[in-house]
Amino acid sequence: MQFVIFIAFTLLVGIVAYLATRSTNEQSEDGYFLGGRSLTGPVIAASLLLTNLSTEQLVGLNGSAYNEGILVMAWETLAAIAMVVTALVLLPRYLKGGLTTIPQFLERRYDTMTKSITSGLFLSGYVVVLLPIVLYSGAVALIGMFDLNTLFQMEQSQTLVLTVCSIGIVGSIYAIFGGLKAVAISDTVNAIGLLIGGLMIPVFGLMYIGDGSMAAGIEALYANDPSKFKAMGASDSAIPFSTLFTGMVLVQLFYWGTNQAIIQRALGAKNLVEGQKGLILAAFIKILGPLIVVLPGLIAFYIFGDTLDPSQGDQSYGMLVNKVLPPVLLGFFAAVLFGAILSSFNSALNSSVTLFGLDIYKQYINKEASEVQVVRAGKAFGIGLAVLSMVIAPSIANAPEGLFGYLQEINGCYTIPILTIILVGYLTKYVPPIAAKIAMGVGVVMYSFSQFFLKGYVEAGGGEYPHYLHIMAIIFLFNIGLMLLIGKLKPRAEAYQQQYTKQVDITEWKPVRLMGLIITVIVISTYFIFT
């Protein structure tokens, strides 16, 4: 019965996405890559949230909460402020320029080579890190939830390969053959299910703890270990409080404001009003994110704290689902989880296809390519990328513990260099292209040397190495200074002026600033509550 419900809900999402996208011209660049620039606020918000929320958060962030407590909510709550900044500062500039990809802006601001290097960094991050890990973590979650090893009578490794391939194939169908609108529509349906299913876990968990009473469950949860409810992390915690003002700000701004897989949803807005509505709505919902990706980890600690050691924190979420969720609802929740897995996979894949088609194929391989040829080449690349990700994913079985934190640290290799040149590009007029190239090269080398060589050397000698979020901030400031210095010594011949393409209306949504202020106050207040 559980499996039947799972299949039925998954098919429902596919049917809805197909019916909603039949009228979209998928042969044009705007139609395929940006959904015909027709996305509305609610669709953008839902797609943003579900693209972000996947098994590496449901499993990984709840696992971190199991070990560290509520302080890991910073990954969720501070994201809301980053979305406000994106809505007010970055999105108006993106839509003014009629951008399809972030690297397109870099080409206009700097030069083609800068765009190509950035596209390469994005693609390498998606191929090597994001896509395989999403497939792997999703497969592991589903295997545990349905006990697929027993169902298929296979060994763990065989079941893992089968599940990875299944997720990859279904996700590829959405992303490659449906384009952005199919991804966004399927995300909207899945987002509704995820909000319902994700909230069911803490509700049933608290009722389990409180013998049927949520209020009693909350009291028991707090009384069990009050230290788990301290939002300000100590210097030796996973997220020291000081990092909220350094690298955490930069990571959030990069992810929500410049990451192609995320911001592409807002770039597909029919106008600035709808884009800002989508970001603000998503920000309000994001504040509630800890209820789904932090609170279950605390509940799991209460229930399994005596049976799981810290290294097994990532297993706690699946164990909690099986422990507290009524069997009749397990199929629905598994379908919702499957949707979240697909969303992260197909969103990253769709963005990779977009970057390749517009920034590499049309730029270097076939400069005279028609829109139909660009779309076709992008689809072919996407198929190859999906296959490669499916091949790599099973090999992550021996990945380090604490998958979520590991992901954030690795991603620093390209996040800081890209964020630096985008911000300098918008905020200055005379910094030359050579400054962007040097900054990207220096940023990648410095961060890689720091985290993969120097850190190990210092710790092996008994020393204490700075948190990776602090390292990000240091490199960011260094790169900013380097670019400004080069701009002073060798400025552009002419000041950069952004042109308004008039592809979409960029009239500002009137309540956006008030809504942004309210969101900021709520986030700050949260930290005063959990001091």
- Listed in sequence order, the residues at least 6 apart from 295 whose beta carbon sits closer than 8 Å to its beta carbon are 65, 202, 205
Tell the residue number behind the tokens 């199929």, with chain if given.
Answer: 331
Q: Distances in Å between the alpha carbon of 341 and those of 38, 191, 344?
A: 25, 12, 6
Q: Which residues pair with 269 in a beta bridge?
A: 39
Evaluate whether 76 touches 289 at the Cβ level (below 8 Å).
Answer: yes
The rounded distance, in Å, linking the Cα atoms of 101 and 351 is 9
The whole-angstrom separation of Cα 51 and Cα 59 is 15
Phi, psi (rounded to 5 degrees) for 498: -75, 135
pLDDT score at 6: 67
Q: CA torsion 266→267→269→275, rounded to 10°?
A: 40
**At a CB cut-off of 8 Å and minimum separation 6, what does 492 contact?**
429, 430, 431, 432
Q: What is the pLDDT of residue 245?
A: 93
Contact 33, 376 (CB under 8 A): no
Amino acid at 287: I
Location of structure tokens 């229930």: 303
User: Given this model, what pLDDT does residue 237 score?
Assistant: 86
Write the class of the CATH domain 2-404.
mainly alpha
DSSP 3-state of 399 = coil
Domain ranges of the chain: 2-404
Please report, in tens digits, the pLDDT of each residue of the chain (531 residues total): 666 776 776 676 666 656 655 555 444 444 444 445 668 899 889 878 877 777 778 877 888 899 899 999 999 999 999 999 999 999 999 999 888 778 888 989 999 899 888 888 878 877 777 788 888 878 877 777 777 888 788 887 888 899 889 888 877 776 566 554 555 666 666 667 777 888 899 999 999 999 999 999 999 999 998 989 998 888 888 899 999 999 999 999 999 999 877 887 788 888 999 999 999 999 999 998 899 999 999 999 999 887 877 766 777 887 888 889 888 788 778 877 777 777 777 777 777 777 788 778 888 888 888 877 887 887 788 888 888 889 888 877 665 545 666 677 888 888 899 999 999 999 999 999 999 999 999 999 999 999 989 998 898 888 889 999 999 999 999 999 999 999 999 999 999 988 888 888 899 999 999 999 999 999 999 998 887
| 104: helix, strand or coil | helix
Q: What share of the chain is helix, strand, coil (3-state, %, to 5)?
A: 80, 0, 20
Residue 173's contacts (CB-CB under 8 Å, 6 or more residues apart) are none
Report yes or no: 469 and 247 within 8 Å, Cβ to Cβ. yes
Contact criterion met (CB below 8 Å) for 386 and 176: yes
Distance CA 109, CA 433 (A): 8
| 180, 29 contact by CB (below 8 A) | no
User: What distance in Å separates the CA atoms of residue 374 and residue 353, rounded to the nearest whole number?
Assistant: 10
Exposure on the CB side of residue 331, measured as CA atoms within 13 A: 11
Residue 235 DSSP SS3: coil
Provide the 3-class DSSP secondary structure of residue 462: coil
The torsion angle over the Cα atoms of residues 181, 183, 187 and 189, rounded to 10 degrees, is 70
Q: Token digits for 141?
A: 């979650």
- pLDDT score recorded for residue 481: 97
User: Which DSSP category does 258 fall into?
Assistant: T
Closest listed residue to residue 252, CA positions, set 433, 482, 432, 520: 520
